[in-house]
Amino acid sequence: MFVPQLQKNMIEQSRQLERSFGFSQATWLFPAAFIFHVAEEWPKFIIWAQEYASKSYSSQDYIAIHLAGIVVALLSTALITHFKARLFVFLWFTFIVMPSLFWNMFFHAGSSLLFNTYCPGTITSVSIYPIVFYLISGRALNERLISKKLWIIALLIAGIFHTWEVGHNVFHRW
């Protein structure tokens, strides 16, 4: 009798937390997750990229890309919490959140599997990123800041953008 009541209380408490934790609060999980991810990658990703992606990938590449990423994550999150126009939310998801959180998860996990070696960044990308992505997406959809249709379109465009970005920045293909 005690366990079912405890489960019921826990479910109710999680629902209350979910109701009080809106889009504006959830967005701040994104830059925090990104910074954790960069901390996991540094400095081993440079060595990994030189071996498996491009010999010309440098520490300067990594620093420039990831410092810019941290600045963009912080500034875009500050802006999106104050300017929640549907167009801005769509663009934020398309070019910032989805490439960084969703598609980067597949890059790291896929690279680890493809090259049969740990790709630095895989742990945060498969553990923290899915949770943060789910929370931010869920809040945006629940608050009708983005429609399901536009969310899917954003996801597809973000996949193309992330593929180009990784090909250019990491593999130095174009």
131-147, pLDDT tens digit by residue? 999 999 999 999 999 99
* Per-domain boundaries in the chain: 30-169
**Could you read off the pLDDT of 54-83 as tens digits, one per residue?**
999 999 999 999 999 999 999 999 999 999
pLDDT of residue 1: 57
The answer to whether the beta carbons of residues 60 and 99 sit under 8 Å apart is no
Is the predicted pLDDT of residue 13 greater than 80, yes or no?
no
Q: How high is the mean pLDDT of the chain?
A: 94
Q: Is 158 exposed, middle or buried (0-12, 13-18, 19+ CB in 10 A)?
A: buried
